[in-house]
Amino acid sequence: MNLAVVTDNLGYLLVGAWPDGPIGGLALTLILSGLSGLVSAVLGLLLGIGLAMSAGAGRRTLVLGLGFFRAIPILMLIFWSYFLLPILFGVSVPEIGTVVTALALVGGAYLAYGVAAGIESIGSGQWAAGLALGLGRWQVLRVIVLPQALRAMAPSFLNQWTALIKDTSLAYVIDVPELSFVAAQVNNRAMVYPAEIFLFVGAVYGALCLALDRLVAVLAWGARRTSWLSRGTRA
């Protein structure tokens, strides 16, 4: 093992060419995953509400669309949005936008089902109570159901973020200088230390995702506790 190849390139692996050039490395991985996490949360919320509140042909179309994004390999989706969007629509999306779009669509499609399940898990009694108070269906959703459902779903949003951190590594295939890509660059330059470089990069991802995982566990525990407490006071 020759760890010098890691320490010599540590700055490049962490922030890329920044501040003399565009930001990259681990910092870009965090930016990409944060952005796609936000967009996928919004998408997932909207689509999930759509899924829970719609019926008939509208719902079938939605299910079909969501199915597409759940079935396509992200790699293929990145190729599509990167190479074909510009040709089809004449718009050139910057690479980072391409990655965020692809990841957010897939992440949103997965989250949508979680959101829909969260909404459906709120008992029909709550719906009935809201409607009896004279609220409309959408008002009940907004005022009564969503706040509860969202609290229960916070862990799954964070879980999705962990998945996205890992998936940003796919930006490698379109030359976006996130952590995996700069690692490949360093590997290509040093040539004979693939073990050191890729194991180190794996450890960085691992530390990041495990930390988030812990956070999710703490939050989930907190959520259980508060729900138990509120049940306790009601009794």
Does 154 sit near another protein (CB under 8 A)?
A: no
User: CA triplet 54, 156, 106: central angle to 5 degrees?
Assistant: 65
Does 64 sit near another protein (CB under 8 A)?
A: no
Q: How far is CA 115 from CA 150, 182, 183, in A?
A: 8, 35, 36
Give the per-residue contact string, 6-45, with another protein (x = CB under 8 A; - = no).
--xx--x---xx--xx------------------------
End-to-end alpha carbon distance in the chain:
62
Does 201 sit near another protein (CB under 8 A)?
A: yes
Task: Give which of 25, 27, 32, 22 is closest to 165, Cα–Cα.
Answer: 32
Quick one: which of 55, 71, 132, 235 contacts another protein (CB under 8 A)? 71
In this structure, what are the phi and psi dihedrals at residue 175, rounded to the nearest 5 degrees?
A: 65, 30
Does 50 sit near another protein (CB under 8 A)?
A: no
Comparing CB distances to another protein, the nearer of 141 and 169 is 169
Residues ≥6 apart with Cβ < 8 Å to 219: 154, 155, 158
Peptide bond into 19 cis (omega under 30): yes
Site residues (CB under 8 A) for another protein, limited to 111-150: none
Comparing CB distances to another protein, the nearer of 189 and 225 is 189
Give the per-residue contact string, 205-234, with another protein (x = CB under 8 A; - = no).
xx--xx--x---------------------
The minimum distance between CB 230 and another protein, in angstroms, equals 24
CA–CA gap between residue 234 and residue 224 (Å, rounded) = 15
CA–CA gap between residue 17 and residue 15 (Å, rounded) = 7
Question: Which residues form the interface with another protein (CB under 8 A)?
Answer: 8-9, 12, 16-17, 20-21, 67-68, 71-76, 79-80, 82-84, 86-90, 92, 95, 162, 165-170, 172-175, 177, 180, 183-185, 187-189, 191-192, 194-195, 198-199, 201-202, 205-206, 209-210, 213
